[in-house]
């Protein structure tokens, strides 16, 4: 099936011409905006803010829709006890998905508004109301799942044979895949009241538990100190600008930022350990309540992914730590350091090549990099329904969510939040999130609401494939410019380090911490710090210096509350490296299989469709290939360093 989207070439040409003309005019007549994470949101030019009106015109419209959604949820009650007959099941499912679409829409808008500025209480309250509505919807609609799962095989087969239910066959069949995990009516009611989400039809990172909410509140109240910037001026350290100062070209600046940041976190380590420990114990409880031995089995089974995928990741990375240890030594050599610390890991290897890349220039690089995806993909991404409208919230501001994410809801336009700081890594982040956005667009276009969706494994492959295509484009673009080559190759190695090795470390940390809960071992700050520090020592090797507060790095990472999600980042990049290499080389068959994979229905087995597209994550080859790419890149970097050192 060809899933590419075709838009008229003339329309694309007009759009790009208009964009170029607009950019030229802007360059001549406007002051270039300088990103500042402490700036008020009002100071960011409007063209760099997302337009959320595609979801709701304003808060009043949101409130009115909230009331209607509550009514839609109540309508479902009329179907209780009757779902063994197609004449009742069909309208019930139609009403269910109508309600779900509204709940998703309300949640998306509320989350976007809340992410703009955490000091605006009305939007924080709106987000809480949306979360509560989603929980109520899942609880009130849980009878649908229970009635369908309690049908015996003969009754289910008879029901599924009814032609009126043809649009819902895949959905019902997938639902019944976990039939053995269904509990009694009263037990199901209690788990629902406890906020159990193992049956949720959305990403669990979009449904924070009460414990995760406590973690977020604690983070918000942590008093980070002021630090010195590169000009010697005192600046307020924030969760948004920490990465910027951690990557400073001046060692005293990045050392001061990292030590101040981790030192501040260590003062809160007891409560942060209690929140993470509580979340992990909750995961284990929910898994065991449904008969799973381990929490990873339960949470990966949601998406039909075997735990062996995550376990293969950790084992394969352990067998390929050599390139990471080699990188530590090369980084020391290039930076002229006797020892390498956490605060030396993120600075550019070639500071003199570090140049500001405005957002518009970054988009041009992304566009050029994605050309091998085909005109349909590129024209859709840069067309009026995507980047041609206010899809992206670009720059950081005071109170804005740190990091980056893409958000989508069936029937509505994908949205992207960035904290773009004009660095080459921000271009890479933009490519990553736009990969998520295009994945959502392709999947929503191909599937009805009941079948639309995908596993985190496929999602992270869609984003990292774009990221790797950008890296390959930049390497080719700057061929002959040794300083830029070294800089870009360093960024490529950093991507592999942070997305494969670091996320594998996170995966192993997550497995160990859940293992403590499963064994009944008390989870304390001391245990978490030691576990994390020991993994850092193992992964980075004897050439890396672990400082006294480095073990506390786990304490601010939100992904540990996302219930076994981080493995998909590492597996996604390993897959993205494989797909991007073939697609950039002009392998249109791989490209078409890859795009077809992105459009597959939610019910498709992720490991199977990945294998069909060309990557088998139950085997170590993809991870070995990623390690090999890192090793080869290090060899190329060493050659460039030697060349530059010659008189």
Q: Which of 196, 243, 279, 433 is labelled catalytic?
A: 433
Parallel/antiparallel/unpaired status of strands 392-393 and 415-417:
parallel
The token pair at 157 is: 């087969």
| Secondary structure element (H or E) that encloses residue 415, with its range | strand 415-417
Question: Cβ distance 210 to 7 under 8 Å?
Answer: no
For residues 71 and 93, what is the distance between their CA atoms, to the nearest angstrom?
16
| Annotation marks residue 116 as catalytic | no
Report the half-sphere exposure of 625 (CA within 13 A, side-chain side). Answer: 18
With residue 392 as reference, give the H or E element that holds it. strand 392-393
Sequence-ordered alpha helix ranges (H) in 141-268: 142-149, 153-160, 169-175, 185-193, 210-221, 242-246, 251-266
DSSP assignment string, 324-335: HHHHHHHHHHHH
CA-to-CA separations, 605 to 104, 287, 290, 376, in angstroms, rounded: 24, 21, 21, 26
Rounded CA separation 238/252 (Å):
18
SS (H, E, C) 342-385: HHHCCCCCCHHHCCCCCHHHHHHHHHHHCHHHCHHHHHHHCCCC
Length of the chain: 647
For residue 526, give every residue at least 6 positions away whose Cβ sits within 8 Å of its Cβ, in sequence order, or none: none
Identify which of 421, 425, 422 has the alpha carbon closest to the alpha carbon of residue 400.
Answer: 421
Distance from CA of residue 395 to its chain's centroid? 18
- Kindly list the catalytic residues: 433
């Amino acid at each position: 099936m060809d899933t590419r989207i075709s838009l008229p070439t003339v329309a694309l040409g007009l759009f790009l011409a208009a964009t170029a003309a607009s950019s030229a005019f802007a360059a001549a007549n406007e002051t270039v905006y300088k990103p500042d994470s402490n700036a008020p949101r009002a100071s960011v030019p409007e063209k760099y803010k997302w337009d959320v009106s595609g979801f709701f015109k304003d808060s009043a419209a949101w409130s009115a829709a909230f009331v209607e959604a509550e009514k839609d949820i109540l309508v479902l009650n009329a179907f209780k006890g009757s779902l063994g007959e197609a004449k009742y099941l069909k309208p019930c499912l139609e009403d269910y998905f109508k309600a779900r679409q509204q709940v998703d829409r309300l949640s998306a808008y509320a989350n976007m508004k809340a992410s703009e500025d955490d000091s605006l209480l009305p939007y924080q309250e709106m987000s809480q109301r949306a979360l509560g509505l989603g929980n109520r919807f899942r609880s009130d609609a849980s009878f649908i799942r229970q009635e369908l799962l309690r049908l015996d095989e003969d009754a289910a087969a008879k029901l599924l044979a009814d032609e009126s239910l043809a649009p819902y066959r895949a959905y019902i069949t997938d639902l019944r895949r976990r039939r053995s995990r269904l509990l009694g009516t009263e037990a199901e009611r209690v788990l629902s009241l406890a906020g159990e989400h193992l049956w949720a039809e959305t990403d669990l990172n979009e449904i924070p538990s009460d414990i995760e909410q406590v973690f977020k509140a604690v983070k918000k109240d942590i008093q980070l100190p002021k630090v010195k910037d590169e000009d010697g001026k005192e600046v307020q350290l924030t969760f948004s600008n920490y990465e910027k100062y951690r990557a400073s070209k001046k060692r005293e600046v990045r050392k001061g930022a990292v030590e101040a940041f981790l030192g501040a976190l260590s003062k809160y380590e007891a409560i942060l350990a209690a929140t993470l420990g509580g979340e992990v114990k909750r995961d284990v409880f929910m898994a065991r309540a449904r008969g799973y031995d381990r929490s990873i089995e339960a949470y990966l089974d949601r998406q039909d992914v075997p735990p062996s995928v995550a376990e293969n990741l950790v084992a394969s990375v352990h067998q390929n730590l050599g390139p990471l240890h080699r990188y530590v030594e090369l980084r020391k050599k290039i930076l002229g350091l006797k020892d390498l610390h956490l605060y030396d890991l993120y600075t550019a290897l070639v500071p003199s090549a570090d140049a500001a890349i405005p957002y518009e220039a970054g988009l041009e690089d992304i566009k050029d990099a994605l050309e091998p995806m085909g005109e349909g993909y590129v024209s859709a991404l840069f067309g009026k329904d995507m980047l041609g409208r206010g899809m992206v919230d670009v720059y950081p501001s005071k109170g804005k969510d740190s990091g980056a994410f893409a958000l989508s809801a069936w029937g509505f336009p994908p949205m992207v939040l960035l904290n773009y700081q004009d660095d080459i890594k921000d271009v890479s982040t933009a490519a990553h999130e736009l990969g998520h956005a295009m994945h959502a667009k392709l999947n929503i276009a191909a599937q009805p609401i009941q079948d639309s969706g995908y596993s985190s494994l496929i999602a992270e492959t869609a984003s990292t494939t774009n990221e790797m295509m950008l890296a390959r484009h930049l390497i080719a673009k700057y061929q002959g410019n040794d300083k830029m080559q070294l800089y870009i190759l360093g960024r490529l190695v950093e991507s592999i380090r942070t997305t494969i090795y670091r996320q594998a470390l996170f995966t192993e940390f997550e497995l160990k911490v859940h293992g403590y809960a499963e064994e009944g071992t008390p989870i304390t700050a001391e245990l978490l710090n030691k576990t994390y520090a020991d993994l850092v020592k193992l992964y980075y090797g004897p050439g890396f210096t672990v400082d006294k507060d480095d073990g506390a790095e786990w304490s601010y990472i939100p992904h540990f509350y996302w219930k076994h999600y981080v493995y998909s980042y590492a597996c996604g990049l390993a897959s993205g490296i494989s797909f991007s290499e073939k697609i950039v080389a002009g392998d249109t068959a791989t490209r078409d299989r890859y795009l077809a994979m992105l459009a597959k229905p939610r019910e498709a087995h992720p490991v199977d469709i990945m294998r069909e597209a060309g990557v088998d994550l139950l085997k170590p080859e993809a991870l070995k290939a990623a390690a090999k790419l890192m090793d080869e890149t290090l060899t190329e970097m060493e050659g460039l360093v030697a060349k530059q050192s010659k008189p």
